[in-house]
Amino acid sequence: MLDIWSWISELPDSTDWSESDSPLIFTLATSSSRSSQANSTRAIQLRAERTSDANSDTFVTFTVCLQGFENSNDHQKTIWVSDTCPLSSDKPFLPLLLQLLQEITVHSPTAYNSTCPRSQLQKLKPDPVSWVMDSHSPESFSTFFDLVFLTRLFWLCVFDVPSEVGSLYFNSILGPNLETLICEHAPVLRTFLVTVGVDAELCFMRSLGYIIAKWFILRELGVGLQTLSPLSSQHLGFSYATEAHGLWILKGYAPVSGMKRTRFNDNNGKFPVIEAKESVLRYALAHQQLEAVIQLEYFVGFYEGHIQVNAHVDNLRFHVAKLGFNKNDDAEYAEERYFPSRVRVWVGPEVGSTYVNGLSLGRSTSNGEREVEMQRIVKGSFGKAKNQKVKDRARMTTKTRMKNWRWDQDVEGNAAVFDAVLCDSMTGQEIATCNGNSSIRSRYNGSNRPFTKTGGLVFSGDEYGEGVRWRLSREMEGSVLKWRIGGEVWLSYWANNVESSYYETRCVEWCDEIDLPLIPGK
Q: Dump the DSSP string for 35-49.
A: -SS-EEEEEEEEEEE
d(CA 431, CA 490): 10
Domain boundary among the residues 232, 253, 270 is at: 232
Count CB-CB contacts under 10 A for residue 410.
Answer: 14
203 and 170 in a single domain? The answer is yes
* DSSP 8-state symbol, 332: G
pLDDT at site 391: 54
Query: 291 falls in which pLDDT band (50, 70, 90)?
Result: very high
- Bridge partners (DSSP) listed for residue 347: 416, 485
Least confident span in 103-117, 209-223, 295-309 = 103-117
- Bridge partners (DSSP) listed for residue 44: 29, 66
d(CA 184, CA 170): 20
**C-alpha distance from residue 356 to each of 297, 299, 473 (Å):** 19, 16, 7
User: Collapsing DSSP states into helix, strand and coil, what is residue 298?
Assistant: strand
Query: 68 falls in which pLDDT band (50, 70, 90)?
Result: confident
- Torsion angle of alpha carbons 99, 102, 107, 111, nearest 10°? 170
247 and 194 in a single domain? The answer is no
d(CA 211, CA 214): 5
Query: 490 falls in which pLDDT band (50, 70, 90)?
Result: very high
* 288 contacts: CB under 8 Å, gap ≥ 6: 213, 255, 256, 320, 321, 322, 323, 337, 338
Count CB-CB contacts under 10 A for residue 447.
Answer: 4
376 in a structural domain = no
pLDDT at site 229: 44
d(CA 45, CA 30): 9
Query: 224 falls in which pLDDT band (50, 70, 90)?
Result: low
287 and 433 in a single domain? The answer is yes
184 and 253 in a single domain? The answer is no
Host domain of residue 31: 1-232
pLDDT at site 335: 79
481 in a structural domain = yes
- Bridge partners (DSSP) listed for residue 511: 486
295 and 360 in a single domain? The answer is yes
Q: How far apart are the first and last CA of the chain?
A: 44
**Side chain identity, residue 18:** S
User: Collapsing DSSP states into helix, strand and coil, what is residue 290?
Assistant: strand
d(CA 483, CA 351): 9
Least confident span in 353-362, 391-400, 423-432 = 391-400
User: Collapsing DSSP states into helix, strand and coil, what is residue 401?
Assistant: coil
Least confident span in 62-76, 78-92, 425-439, 463-477 = 425-439
Q: Which helix or strand (DSSP H or E) is residue 405 part of?
A: strand 405-412
**C-alpha distance from residue 434 to each of 337, 386, 456 (Å):** 17, 51, 21
210 and 258 in a single domain? The answer is no
What is the pLDDT of the chain when averaged over all its residues?
Answer: 81
pLDDT exceeds 90 at position 106? no
Q: Residues 181-187: what's their mean pLDDT?
A: 69
User: Phi, psi (5° rounding) for residue 50?
Assistant: -95, 135
408 and 510 in a single domain? The answer is yes
pLDDT at site 145: 93
349 in a structural domain = yes
**Listed residue (96, 506, 110, 25) closest to 321, CA to CA:** 110
220 and 269 in a single domain? The answer is no
- Number of domains forming the structure of the chain: 2
Contact by Cβ (8 Å): 415, 389: no
389 in a structural domain = no
Q: Are strands 468-473 and 306-322 parallel, antiparallel or unpaired?
A: antiparallel
* DSSP 8-state symbol, 423: B
185 and 257 in a single domain? The answer is no
User: Collapsing DSSP states into helix, strand and coil, what is residue 146?
Assistant: helix
443 in a structural domain = yes
pLDDT in tens, 322-369: 887 666 566 677 778 899 999 999 999 988 888 888 888 876 665 555
303 and 440 in a single domain? The answer is yes
Give the residue, 319 or 88, on which the prediction is more confident. 319
Domain boundary among the residues 209, 232, 255 is at: 232
173 in a structural domain = yes
d(CA 360, CA 499): 48
**C-alpha distance from residue 489 to each of 18, 338, 449 (Å):** 56, 12, 20
463 in a structural domain = yes
Contact by Cβ (8 Å): 3, 143: no
Sign of CA dihedral 490, 491, 496, 500: negative
247 and 186 in a single domain? The answer is no
User: Collapsing DSSP states into helix, strand and coil, what is residue 306?
Assistant: strand
Domain boundary among the residues 232, 248, 283 is at: 232
Count CB-CB contacts under 10 A for residue 87.
Answer: 16
Cα–chain-centroid distance for residue 297? 23
User: Phi, psi (5° rounding) for residue 297?
Assistant: -95, 135
pLDDT in tens, 403-417: 688 888 888 989 999
pLDDT in tens, 23-59: 899 999 998 766 545 567 889 999 999 888 767 788 9
78-82, 158-162, 181-185, 382-386 — which one is most confidently predicted on average?
78-82
pLDDT at site 23: 86
* 68 contacts: CB under 8 Å, gap ≥ 6: 33, 40, 41, 42, 43, 74, 75
226 in a structural domain = yes
277 and 200 in a single domain? The answer is no
